[in-house]
Amino acid sequence: MMPRPTPANDIRPRFVVAVTAVRWLSEGTFEIRLERPVGFKFLPGQKISFVDGALRRDYTLLGPVDAPELALCVRHVPDGLFSPRLSRARIGDRFQITAPFGYFTLKTSGRPAVFVATGTGIAPFVAFANAGARGFDLLHGVRTPAELYYRDLLFTAARRYIPCVSAAAGDGEIGPEGFAGRVDRFLSTQYPDGAYDFFLCGRIQMIRDVTRLIDARFSGSRVFIEAYD
Amino acid sequence: MKIYTQTGDQGKTSLFSGERVVKSDARIHAYGDIDELNSVVGALIAALLPDSEAAEGQLKEIQSDLFQVGAWLAATSGSEAQARLNSITIGYSQRIESWIDGMDAQLPELKSFILPGGHPTAAWAHIARTVCRRAERAVILLAEQEAAAGRSFEGFAPIVAFINRLSDYFFVLARWLNQHAGMGDVQWQG
């Protein structure tokens, strides 16, 4: 994702925070932890922006909401403007972030909740699970099984945790619940008709394909979207 | 993120509260008209003459309020998503009333019908007034549909009052802008 220019009227409070830890989750993805500013409150599913001059980049807070540090899941983009710097960050390095924002929060109804993520789009669902959400179905679309980060937490919290692995995987690598293929193909071929609360987070192509599928097959459903490119 | 997601290419869109609805839905008309009104206000601000700081400040506050109203209309009544938004209160229309009174006190008494026009800034204010009237009709239609479906009108009442007062504001603002430009009202000669 290309960082965007800071809107001229962006009046969100900003904080300068220090890195407290960097932990690699897979070859291309890491979790970064930051010190938590005093009075910093957020809802599960909200995000912050890293800011550098006119550039900014949004990341969803993983939670828990009462944790002493802020945690973020970052995909390393070699030619990106933020993720290389974040990946090389050492403890104590300081970055400017905004106050939390966003509306991709868990909204419940009588319908079953279905969370659909690709790649690091899993972050808000980790935040939901960290906040105590249970009983949802979760589809995590990744290229290889190594990218199924936060698997243990999500497997425990979800009613069904369905890894959807698009590249060829070895026997047993994706588990008995796993699916060899993309999330939209799982939904179109394996998922029962009905009305659901869909929460979609990930690449625009997935958002587009799954939304079209919902319109065609799951009428009466609600759809909440957090897209990135 | 990209500005387009291509999720609306089949004629549907997602409400802020998650429901997928056709783009001809009354709710889409309502917040679409509010969005159009906000855009016209933006054009009016861009056209303002120097020494119009008070009007500019008011119009920018109106833009912010309209954005809030649009978000409220984009979520179904009583939804969790709507509950997360700031409430639209009667204070919105009361503030507009105070601005109307402030401008009206500076204007000559109105003794005949006036035609929309005059200085370009006043012409924009009249366009805002008429778009505002259309937005009001769309919001009331939506409120009626909600009431017919057994949902409360309560949340709509301060919005209807705000939009109704806003069209009066644009009428008085048009007169004020013509006077500010040294042109006076364009009187109907019928």
Domain regions of chain A by residue span: 4-98, 113-228
Q: What percent of chain A has pLDDT over 90?
A: 83
- Enumerate the residues of chain B whose CB falls inside 8 A of the CB of residue A204: 1-2, 5-6
**Taking residues A126-154, what's their average pLDDT?**
95
Which has more confidence, A73 or A177? A73
| pLDDT at res. B132 | 98
Residue among B169, B174, B168 at smallest CA distance from B183: B174
Count CA within 13 A, CB hemisphere, residue A172. Answer: 0
Q: For B56-115, how does the pLDDT look when each residue is reduced to its tens digit (9 = 90+)?
A: 999 999 999 999 999 999 999 888 888 888 889 999 999 999 999 999 999 999 989 999
- What pLDDT is attached to residue B152? 76
Topology (CATH) of A113-228: Rossmann fold (3.40.50)
pLDDT of residue B84: 85
Q: d(Cα B84, Cα A43) in Å, to the nearest integer?
A: 11
User: Judged by CB atoms within 8 Å, which residues 82-141 of B form the interface with A?
Assistant: 84
Residue A128: phi, psi to the nearest 5?
Answer: -60, -45
Mean pLDDT of chain A: 91
Instruction: Give A6's pLDDT tier (boundaries 50, 70, 90).
Output: very low
Cβ of B18 and A108 within 8 Å?
A: no
B39 in contact with A, Cβ within 8 Å: no
Cβ of residue B63 closer than 8 Å to a chain A Cβ: no
pLDDT score for A5:
39
In this prediction, residue A27 carries a pLDDT of 92
A6 touches chain B (CB under 8 A): no
What is the rounded distance in angstroms from the CA atom of residue A209 to the CA atom of residue A1?
A: 19
Give me the helix-helix angle, B53-73 and B26-47, nearest 10°. 170
Interface test with A, best of B4, B6, B7 (most A CBs within 10 A): B7
pLDDT higher than threshold 70 for residue A8 = no
CATH architecture for segment(s) A4-98: Beta Barrel (2.40)
B5 and A CB contact within 8 Å? yes
Question: Under 8 Å CB-to-CB from A48, ≥6 apart: which residues?
Answer: A42, A58, A59, A61, A70, A72, A97, A98, A99, A100, A101
- Return the structure tokens found at B109: 């008494």
pLDDT at B1 over 70: no
Cross-chain residue pair A105–B84, CB shorter than 8 Å = yes
This complex has an ipTM of 0.77
Cβ–Cβ pairs < 8 A, chains A and B:
52
- The pLDDT assigned to B11 comes to 87
